[in-house]
Chains A and B, each alone.
Chain A
Amino acid sequence: MADKKKKNVPPSAQQYQSFQDKREVKRPIVKNCIKAFFVGGFICFIGQLISTFYIHFFNFTEQTVGNPTIATLIFITMLLTGFGVYDRIGQFSGAGSAVPVTGFGNAVISAAIEHRTEGFVLGVGGNMFKLAGSVILFGVFSAFVVALIKTILIQWGGL
């Protein structure tokens, strides 16, 4: 109990720390990056296929096609998450499947499925944005700050 109050870690704990560092499995960074590159690139490639489809058949432009593409990708993610495939892709590729918008979809959807046993209001409703909430929070807040600064500069700075 007394150890918790001490700010300095006792020598035995320091020894343990260095022992732990030595034994920690080194992460194969290069290999992981290659995997992330190919899986992430492949997801974006599929996104580009969907985009091209929408541009040719539904009259979207290059700038507006992002919206339906993202919605379609999240729909595909729902199926993959529900059948348990996305978890396996995620284990294999790390950031390759987490960074594209499908990773955001997977975070929301898997939380929703996982917590349905706790009921729809408190379980699904309350936990849906448990993981993805930070993305929305920091996205919205930083966008607010950036847009505010830019607007002020344009309106009063004469940019």
Chain B
Amino acid sequence: MIFFWAFVVGGLICVIGQIMFDVFKLTPGHTLSILVVAGAILDGLGLYEPLIDFAGAGATVPITSFGNSLVHGAMQEAEKHGIIGVITGMFEVTSSGISAAIIFGMIGALIFKPKG
């Protein structure tokens, strides 16, 4: 059942992005930035965690989860070390997205040749 909800919730988040593209005529950069900020705010309100429980990868794969996990890491560390933890814990949870993008970006640049 979680496969079905992952499909539906993930698809709906993409539809929101598509509406921002087409109706509000935003560039992809603006759209993704807004979605990331929305994810961070939703986690601040405590709404993103239940969505992950409900939809699994449907909530963790869209870019909104990036904002969510940034806030999450910051909050985990903040509970231990107080206000300074907000800065030290920022990338605690979300390290994989950025490190994978950098590592595979470099490997891709080494292996593949640009086309066109």
Contact = CB atoms under 8 A, between A and B. Distances in A.
Interface in A16-56: 27, 29, 32-33, 35-45, 47-51
A148 B101 contact: no
Contacts of B12: 37
> Which residue among A98, A111, A139, A152 has the maximum number of chain B CB atoms within 10 Å of its CB?
A139
Nearest to B76: A147
Nearest to B85: A151
A45 B78 CA distance: 33
A38 B82 CA distance: 43
A109 B105 contact: yes
A114 to B, nearest CB: 5
A138 B36 contact: yes
A116 B14 contact: no
Chain B interface mostly: helix
A135 B11 contact: no
A68 B105 CA distance: 17
A122 interface: no
What range describes how many residues of B lie at the interface?
Answer: 35 or more
Given A29-B19, A147-B71, A40 B87 contact: no
Nearest to A34: B15
Contacts, number: 271
B14 A134 contact: no
B19 to A, nearest CB: 7
A124 B96 contact: no
Nearest to A130: B29
Contact of A40 (B14, B71, B105): B14
B109 A98 contact: no
B57 A74 contact: no
A71 B100 contact: yes
A47 B101 contact: no
Given A67-B96, A94-B18, A105 B104 contact: yes
B37 interface: yes
B8 A41 contact: yes
B18 A96 contact: yes
Given A45-B3, A134-B33, A143 B104 contact: no
Given A63-B52, A146-B41, A33 B19 contact: yes
13 contacts: A32-B21, A38-B11, A41-B8, A47-B6, A94-B18, A116-B113, A131-B28, A135-B32, A135-B63, A142-B37, A146-B40, A146-B41, A147-B90
